[in-house]
Amino acid sequence: MKDYNRPWFDHYPPEIPKSIVYDEKTLHDYLLESGKKYGEKKALYFMGKNITYGELVSEAKKMAKFFQDKGLKKGDRVAVMLPNCPQGVIAYYGALLAGGTVVQVNPLYTERELSYQLKDAGATFIICLDILVPRVSAVREDTGLEHVIVTRVADYLPFPKNLIYPFIQKKEYNMVIKVEETDDTHLWKTIMNTSTEAYEIIEVNPNEDLALLQYTGGTTGRPKGVMLTHTNLVANGQMVDAWMYKLEEANEVVLAALPFFHVYGMTTVMNLSIMSGYKMLILPKFDAEETLKTIEKMKPTIFPGAPTMYIGLLNHPNIEKYDLSSIQACISGSASLPLDVQNKFEEVTGGRLVEGYGLTESSPVTHANLVWDKRVNGSIGLPWPDTDAKIFKKGTLEEVAVGEVGEIAVKGPQIMKGYWNLEEETNKTLKDGWLLTGDVGRMDENGFFYVVDRKSDMIIAGGFNIYPREVEEVLFEHEGIQEAAVIGVPDDYRGETVKAYIVPKQGLTLDKKQLNRYCRKHLAAYKIPRIYEFREELPKTIIGKVLKRDLIAESVAEKTAQKEAN
C-alpha cells in the first residue's frame, strides 16, 4: 500500500528497511564486541603502523582506568583535541568506557575559540598533541581543566619513523616541545605503560546519557554544544549500515580522511567502522597526493568525504598515474556536490559517489541519495529509515505544498537531546519533536529533497530573494572554475548585491566579462553576480565547508574602508 505521507518509501530498494530495530547498546559496547569477535583483525592503519581490534580495546580500557583513577565521574566532560590518529580513537572510547562525555575540539582552534569551548563544556580533562600544549597552557587558568594528557604523533609510528618524526616536526612547526610530567600533566606513553585494563564498569542509559557534546561548526554565529546520546549516535550508525546495504561486515576498508573531531567523520568513519569491524586507514589530514598514494597502496573500499576532497583529487595533475578502482562507495557531505565532480569521480574510480545531508544536531545524517539505486541530480536524496522529513512554512509547523520552498524539518531517533545550557535556543530549534534545520528547501512529488540554501545565506537584492547555492551550481558547471562561493554584500541601491568568489582551475585565467556572458545564459538577470573576485583558495573549515562569514566580514570591511576614504 502506498504511503502518501512518505512518498520516498516507493524508491527504497527491498534491501533497505523502512524501519530498523535499534540496539539498546552504548557506543563502547560495540568496541568491546568487536574486540571479542575480531581480536586479531586489523582495526587501524596509521602511517605504516597497524593496530588490531584486540590492541585497540586493551588501550581504550587502560585509558578508562586512568581517567577513573584521576577522579573522572559519570558525565564528566573529556576534551579530545587531536587530528586523526590512533590516540583520537582510543581517547574517545576510553572516555566513554569510563562513563565520561566526549567533547571533540578542533586542533586548529585559536586560544579564544579553545577557551570558550572548554569553559562552556566544563571539560575537566583534555588530550592534545605536544605541539598544542602552549595553546592549552595559555587558556588553562581560565577553564576548569584539571588534567592535561599529552601525546605525540610519533607515539604510534613504527620504527624508524618514530625516531625521524621529531626532526620533521621541528622543521615543519619550528618548535620542539618538552613536557614535564606533574600531578596534573601526563604523558600518553607513560599512561599506556603503567595503567591497567581494570576499569570500573559504569552503568549508562543509552537513551538518556550523553556520549558526546559536539559543538556546531560556528560558520554562522557562536558554536553551540549539541547534546548527543549514545542512542542518537548508535541509531545513525545503524542507519548508515542499512543504507549502504552492500557493505560486508568485517570486510570493508574505510579511508579516514574526514576528521574524527567533526561529527560527519566521527559517525560515518570512526563509529561505523568500530560497529561493523571495518579497518580504518587513518590520514592525519587531507592531502591530495598522500590520499591518492594511500588509495592505490591500501585499497580502501569506502571513502566518505566532502566535495572539496573529491575536487582536490580530480584536479591533481598526476591523478591518471594512480589506481583508484578499489573505491566502491562514497557519500559526500558538508556542502553541495557539483554534478560535474560526481560524474568525473565515478568515471575515474568506477565506484559510486552520492550526495547526502545532515547537521550536527542530527548525529549527523538524515538524507542521502541511494548509492546503488535511483538518484536525482541536484537532490540531497531521500530521508533515511525512521527519519521523517517535511517542508514547513517559515516560523511555523505548517506544511507547505509539494514543490513549494520552505524550511526543512526532520524527526527521528538520531535527533539531538538539545543544546547544552541553552534552553531558549533548544526550544526554538526543537518543536513537537521536529528539528527545524534553518535550511531552505523543497520536496518533489517522489519524496526527493532539495536544499535551496541556508536560511542565513539568502540574499535579498532589490526585493528579490536569491539563493547563493543556485548561483554556485551554475558557476560550478563552468569548465574553467574549480571552486565558487557566492555571498550578499551591502549595496546602497539594491540593499544587497551578489558577489562571487572564484578559484580558477590550475593554469586557467578567467575574467568578469567572460563569466557575465556565461551567467546570462543560465541565470535571471537579478541573480547574476555584480562583483567577481578571483582567488587561489577560499577560507574553509577543516572539513572543507567554505567560511562565508569570513568572506562577508572581509567585504563589509572593504565597503567601510571605501566609504571612509571617500
Q: What is the pLDDT of residues 278-289, one digit of tens each?
A: 999 999 999 999
Across 292-306, average pLDDT: 97
Pick 336 or 516 by higher pLDDT.
Answer: 516
Q: What is the pLDDT of residue 369?
A: 97
Query: From CA 421, how far away is CA 443, in angstroms rounded?
Result: 34
Buried b (16+ CB within 10 A) or exposed e, 131-146: bbbebbeebbeebebb
pLDDT above 80 for 3: no
Q: What is the pLDDT of residue 165?
A: 73
Contact 17, 385 (CB under 8 A): yes
Q: Let me know if domain 458-565 sits in CATH 3.90.79.10.
A: no
Query: From CA 259, how far away is CA 280, in angstroms rounded?
Result: 12
Task: Report helix angle 86-97 to 27-37, nearest 10.
Answer: 110
DSSP characters for 47-112?
TTEEEEHHHHHHHHHHHHHHHHHTT--TT-EEEEE--SSHHHHHHHHHHHHTT-EEEE--TT--HH
Phi, psi of 186 (to 5 degrees): -130, 145
Contact 477, 336 (CB under 8 A): no
Band the pLDDT of 549: cuts 50, 70, 90: confident
Quote the cell numbers at residue 172: 615543519
For the chain, give every domain's residue range: 24-40+50-228, 458-565
Q: pLDDT tens across 70-83, in order?
A: 999 999 999 999 99
Q: According to CATH, what is the number of the domain 24-40+50-228?
A: 3.40.50.980
Quote the cell numbers at residue 438: 534553518
Quote the cell numbers at residue 222: 557562536
Mean pLDDT: which of 219-228, 464-473, 532-541 is highest?
A: 532-541
Q: What is the pLDDT of residue 217?
A: 62
Across 195-206, average pLDDT: 98
Across 354-376, average pLDDT: 96
- Which of these ranges, 304-313, 407-416, 420-429, has the smallest mean pLDDT? 304-313
Band the pLDDT of 498: cuts 50, 70, 90: very high
Q: pLDDT tens across 90-140, in order?
A: 999 999 999 999 999 989 888 988 999 999 999 999 999 999 999 999 999
Q: What is the pLDDT of residue 219?
A: 44
E strands in 283-351: 329-332
Q: pLDDT tens across 388-406, in order?
A: 999 999 879 999 999 999 9
Band the pLDDT of 462: cuts 50, 70, 90: low
Pick 532 or 452 by higher pLDDT.
Answer: 532
Pick 542 or 73 by higher pLDDT.
Answer: 73
pLDDT above 50 for 212: yes
Torsion from C-alpha of 226, 231, 237, 241, nearest 10 degrees: -150
Across 56-60, average pLDDT: 98
pLDDT above 90 for 558: no
Q: What is the pTM of this model?
A: 0.86
User: What mean pLDDT is reported for the chain?
Assistant: 92
Q: What is the pLDDT of residue 555?
A: 83
pLDDT above 90 for 224: yes
Across 134-163, average pLDDT: 93
Q: What is the pLDDT of residue 391?
A: 97
